Structure 1
Amino acid sequence: MTVTKKEYILAVDVGTTSTRAILFDETAEAITTSQTEYDQIYPHPGWHEQRLDDLIGTVNACLEGVAEKLPGLGISKSDIPVISITNQRETACVWSRSTGKQLFNAIAWPDTRNTVTVRQLSYKSPKGLDALKEKTGLPLSTYFSGTKLRWMLDHIAEVQEAHEKDDLMFGTVESWVLWNLTGGLDGGLHYTDITNASRTMFMSLKELAWDKDCLEFFGVKESCLPKIVSNAEVYGKIKSGPFAGTPIAGMIGDQQAALVGNKCIELGSAKNTYGTGAFMLFNTGEEIVPSNYGLLTTTGYRAGPKATPVYALEGSIAVAGSSVKWLRDQMGLIQETTEINGLAEKVKDTGGMYFVPAFSGLFAPYWDDTAAGTVVGMTAYTNKSHMARATLEATCFQTRAILEAMAKDSKKRLQVLRVDGGMTNSDICMQLQADILGIEVERPVMRESTALGSAICAGVAMGLFGWDLSKPETLAKVNVTGKTTFKPENDEADRAKRWKGWEKAVSRARHWNDETGLVSRTPGAFESDELQVPPNKY
């Protein structure tokens, strides 16, 4: 009798505030995990930085943490044939080709210091903020890593000098991590995958290559950029540490990783990740679908260097789980975030009340940074349970708004929404989501979809478990045990009435701050003043 050796995939997930390493088996059971937080640096309002040494340091710490647990689990390092990487997208990293040291702290994806940079770039084209949208699928924005690099080239002497001398290496977080894991100065590989590359504003969506016109527009040399690779191939091997010699495969940005992790690999499937904000991706297949309704066009994944790329539409919600924290920390209506569920369940509806949590304007599909947080429809009957329920409904309504835009852009209607993230722990929130959308909502038991997505890509690259992203049936056993499906419990008339109320509430919230001189605009909104740049101490 032949005993089949059991194999595992170790996924490294470098998030916004911490790094995790999660060991998966072929059914997506998380066998063990190791997690380490790292410092967030806020030099000025709107500025958000991270140390490059912290990013790779926490990766190494998490790999060591998993390695230490393996003997107790009866698992050998030889049972782990591959390690994958997923990461916070749009965070810009710069380091020296000659020394391997950072030239400036990483500028994290939420950072908005480059508002004036965006304005100046928009003046270079009659299309304004849409100057490169046809090629990249993106509007000029503070969000994307290319405008962050342009800011550093304009303001940080060390970065500018390195760029001029061809000593500059630029990448997003996965590039920095891969370069270090594969040797750094000793032969480290300078690669990025198509999902992270698509968020730089330097890459042509059609060609999946650095675009000369885009680089000229930004004034960036191609010599500082990493090589673009697919999401499912072997890139190299780890040079040192407890997993020395282990191949690295499966690099993919976090939201696209969640698309794969939720098995949204069929045309017209979609996922929503409910975190502090919420990010929804809709699989448009091989077609690059331009958005006319406030969404981003982006890459989904490429399952190998010769595979046909899959594209997606993306919509983001600025305030999701953070609205619950606001009820706790600012309003004092609850002591713990989980209490919102019990409060919301005490009433059958919101009593006609709507809450639009536009604390920093509205993201997709409205893109109105003059919108303000608004509560409407209150009466003497309204109590804190109505407010709790309206807070949960707000995220669900915003999700519907994005899906409505996706349907208009793609000409396809979603049948099932797959979900992950912290807010999905709430049964009542997910039931409200099903009722508001009028479709089924699927929630898996294992909700580490970001790490799982990169693990699946690595498995495909290594030929493990028979996984094939072009054949959904090969993933049939992945993360299905204990799956919960929420089905709509109301009728279309009720949905239409509630949706009409939401749209009225949003109309009250929009343009609220117009009188301050602000105007409604697309992503990358800029401010009038530029902060003084501190000396580079890095």
Structure 2
Amino acid sequence: MTKPYVGAIDQGTTGTRFMLFDRGGHVIANAYEQHEQIYPEPGWVEHDPVEIWRNAKAVVSRGLSVAGLDAEQLAALGITNQRETTVVWDKKSGKPVYNALVWQDRRTVDRVEELDAETVAAIRKKTGLQPDAYFSASKVEWILDNADPIKLRRTRPEDVRTRAESGELLFGTIDSWLIYNLTGNHVTDVSNASRTMLYNIHDLAWDETLLVEFDVPEAMLPEVRPSSDEDLYGHTDPDGFLNAEVPVAGALGDQQAALFGQTCFDAGDAKNTYGTGSFYLMNTGKEAVSSDNGLLTTIGFQRSGEPVQYALEGSVFVTGAAIEWLEDVGLVGDPLETATLARSVDSTEGVYVVPAFTGLGAPRWDARARGAIVGVTQSTKKEHVVRATLESIAYQTRDIAEAMEADSGVETTSLRVDGGAVKNNFLCQLQADIIQTEIVRPEVDETTALGSAYAAGLAVGYWDDIEELRSNWQVDREFDPEMDADDADRMYDRWDDAVERSLDWDRA
């Protein structure tokens, strides 16, 4: 293989990153660009897909330029993306008919709550998902019903839904949107398809009954392919912004990409990614394990010619976003201050923060829950609130860890962690204390990008096999529990009391 690098576009909730990796999994280049968060109404969250594509081109170009490289030196390109975020665009012009509805968006809560018990059970059985506005199905339905061309001053007079039914409009998650712009092809991978609430994860096919339920025309759906695809998703346009024909060979939803990047290739392997939210995934192998404890059953990944690997997932909507909130309300000037402030007090003095800003995900699944701060007294200082916010991240992770053990029968003895928040040593130690298990942080903590690079590189033979990837994985630091187990249990029990006060708040 003469081409020395693999690139990855990591399109996240707050921004887009491009990273270059060599055969050892080392970072050669890294470029990042934020995009605007659009909040038209309370609970509504949108992104501009055109801005996202523009930023993707910018970070790829900048990353290559800073490294002194050109696209001809890329063996392949991988894509990883914020999952569930939904885009509908014109097949011919490539223009979106509406902003992307972000996974955090809650405008379709009422619609999901209208589902009858039979439909809820069918969704759980077929898709492995807990019916929620989080997923793509109700989002695409909303766009088709509400992206009125007259209201939006579009030049085309035809009804949006009619155009979708005739195949003039395309639907996809962000991976599909990027791949379409890179290659002209309308495809997605199994991991992203499994997050739409329209895909049967057992039959590996779009589900006709669910398409009818959410009134999503089959003509607008992408083709579903393996996450690491020897047949490729296509090539970049040699006359496009890269001036090169680069194979796009890997795609994974961001959390599945982190699972892959953490080399969790075997049943029982688990990781937790701390980003805007946090997402705890355990590989369950070829078996789709059903959850009795509020977790999701999802597709982990699929390599070309191999069976699907399934996973159990605990989705927490707000973790890193809680740290951003501390900055937004002026309690910290910089997220890096949180560790110093939290260490400056011995405890929260009974204060608990429940960061249910967009409802609660696993294991409670309460779309009506809202954020709460409880236990405040006259002696409460901002340091106590900051520490309580960091503790909330650890408590939510323990919620998932306990549910994961109950569903899988596998005791967590070591948890691999990644994402921006794990740079905070205080948080990592706190996590080890609250869960009472070893926390392992790898040298490369941007494992979402690494995972999609691995998927693309394997597809084109850049890496020979997954054993080569395992040898790349290196530990940066391990955090062992230091807190007494009884103290951890006592603090965690009180967390449940705090959460109870946040539930169903939006209905009051």
TM-score (norm 1): 0.85
1:391–1:105 distance in 2 versus 1, CA, 3 Å: closer
Q: Give the CA deviation at 1:361.
A: 4.0
Q: Distance in 2 between matches of 1:196 and 1:429?
A: 29
The answer to whether the aligner puts 1:136 opposite 2:127 as a matched pair is yes
Q: Distance in 2 between matches of 1:425 and 1:12?
A: 21
Are 1:175 and 1:190, in contact at CA under 8 Å, matched by a contact in 2? yes
Range with bigger deviation, 34-43 or 439-448: 34-43
Q: Give the CA deviation at 1:77.
A: 4.0
Are 1:70 and 1:77, in contact at CA under 8 Å, matched by a contact in 2? no
Q: Aligned residue for 2:35?
A: 38
Q: Distance in 2 between matches of 1:19 and 1:379?
A: 41
Where 1:279 maps in the other structure, the secondary structure is strand
Could you report, residue by residue, the CA deviation over 1:48-85 in whole angstroms, capped at 9, with x for unpaired residues?
333332232222222222332343xxx45443211111
Among 187, 193, 202, the alignment partner of 1:191 is: 187
Q: Aligned residue for 1:203?
A: 199
The answer to whether the aligner puts 1:231 opposite 2:227 as a matched pair is yes
Q: Distance in 2 between matches of 1:324 and 1:173?
A: 25
Among 334, 341, 361, the alignment partner of 2:339 is: 341
RMSD: 2.5
1:199–1:333 distance in 2 versus 1, CA, 3 Å: closer
Range with bigger deviation, 245-254 or 342-351: 342-351
Unaligned stretches of 5+ residues in structure 2:
149-158
Q: Aligned residue for 2:429?
A: 431
Letter in 2 for 1:269: D
Structure 1 segment 207-356 matched on structure 2, within 5 A = 207-233=203-229, 234-239=232-237, 240-304=240-304, 306-330=305-329, 332-356=330-354
Where 1:272 maps in the other structure, the secondary structure is strand
Letter in 2 for 1:21: F
Q: Distance in 2 between matches of 1:478 and 1:155?
A: 48
Letter in 1 for 2:221: L
Letter in 1 for 2:490: K
1:242–1:119 distance in 2 versus 1, CA, 3 Å: same
Are 1:456 and 1:467, in contact at CA under 8 Å, matched by a contact in 2? no
1:201–1:101 distance in 2 versus 1, CA, 3 Å: same
Could you report, residue by residue, the CA deviation over 1:314-373 in whole angstroms, capped at 9, with x for unpaired residues?
22223323333444443x443332222122223444445443333444322122345454
Letter in 1 for 2:203: E
Where 1:132 maps in the other structure, the secondary structure is helix
Q: Distance in 1 between matches of 2:360 and 2:451?
A: 29
Letter in 2 for 1:355: V
Q: Distance in 2 between matches of 1:163 and 1:65?
A: 36
Are 2:236 and 2:242, in contact at CA under 8 Å, matched by a contact in 1? no
Q: Aligned residue for 1:179?
A: 180
Among 402, 406, 413, the alignment partner of 2:404 is: 406
Q: Aligned residue for 2:470?
A: 476
Q: Distance in 1 between matches of 2:192 and 2:311?
A: 13
Letter in 2 for 1:146: A
Q: Distance in 2 between matches of 1:50 and 1:383?
A: 36
1:230–1:147 distance in 2 versus 1, CA, 3 Å: same
Letter in 1 for 2:46: E
Q: Distance in 2 between matches of 1:431 and 1:160?
A: 51
Letter in 2 for 1:308: P
Q: Distance in 2 between matches of 1:21 and 1:213?
A: 38
Among 29, 33, 43, the alignment partner of 2:26 is: 29
Letter in 2 for 1:67: L
Q: Distance in 1 between matches of 2:383 and 2:102?
A: 36
Could you report, residue by residue, the CA deviation over 1:202-245 in whole angstroms, capped at 9, with x for unpaired residues?
21110111122222222323222111000001222111332521
Unaligned stretches of 5+ residues in structure 1:
183-187, 519-538
Range with bigger deviation, 156-165 or 445-454: 156-165
Q: Distance in 1 between matches of 2:412 and 2:15?
A: 33
Where 2:283 maps in the other structure, the secondary structure is strand
1:341–1:287 distance in 2 versus 1, CA, 3 Å: same
Range with bigger deviation, 411-420 or 5-14: 5-14
Are 2:366 and 2:504, in contact at CA under 8 Å, matched by a contact in 1? no
Among 48, 55, 60, the alignment partner of 1:63 is: 60
1:85–1:511 distance in 2 versus 1, CA, 3 Å: closer
Could you report, residue by residue, the CA deviation over 1:234-293 in whole angstroms, capped at 9, with x for unpaired residues?
222111332521111111111111111122222122222222322222212111112221
1:153–1:374 distance in 2 versus 1, CA, 3 Å: closer
Q: Aligned residue for 2:489?
A: 496
TM-score (norm 2): 0.90
Letter in 1 for 2:322: S
The answer to whether the aligner puts 1:110 opposite 2:109 as a matched pair is no
Q: Aligned residue for 2:478?
A: 485
1:394–1:97 distance in 2 versus 1, CA, 3 Å: closer
Q: Give the CA deviation at 1:12.
A: 0.9
Q: Distance in 1 between matches of 2:12 and 2:223?
A: 23
The structure that has the greater radius of gyration is 1
Could you report, residue by residue, the CA deviation over 1:433-488 in whole angstroms, capped at 9, with x for unpaired residues?
111111110112322111111001111111223232xxxx42233241x6111011
Structure 1 segment 441-520 matched on structure 2, within 5 A = 441-468=439-466, 473-480=467-474, 483-507=476-500, 509-511=501-503, 513=505, 517-518=507-508
Among 8, 12, 28, the alignment partner of 2:9 is: 12
Range with bigger deviation, 483-492 or 149-158: 149-158
Q: Distance in 2 between matches of 1:245 and 1:64?
A: 15
Letter in 2 for 1:208: L
Could you report, residue by residue, the CA deviation over 1:141-184 in whole angstroms, capped at 9, with x for unpaired residues?
221112111112222344212123222221111112212211xx
Are 1:90 and 1:144, in contact at CA under 8 Å, matched by a contact in 2? yes
Where 2:271 maps in the other structure, the secondary structure is strand
Where 2:248 maps in the other structure, the secondary structure is strand
1:243–1:87 distance in 2 versus 1, CA, 3 Å: farther
Between the two proteins, the alignment pairs up a number of residues equal to: 494
Q: Distance in 2 between matches of 1:77 and 1:126?
A: 52
Q: Distance in 2 between matches of 1:397 and 1:411?
A: 21
Are 1:466 and 1:474, in contact at CA under 8 Å, matched by a contact in 2? yes
Letter in 2 for 1:86: T
Letter in 2 for 1:142: A
1:236–1:297 distance in 2 versus 1, CA, 3 Å: same
Letter in 1 for 2:306: A
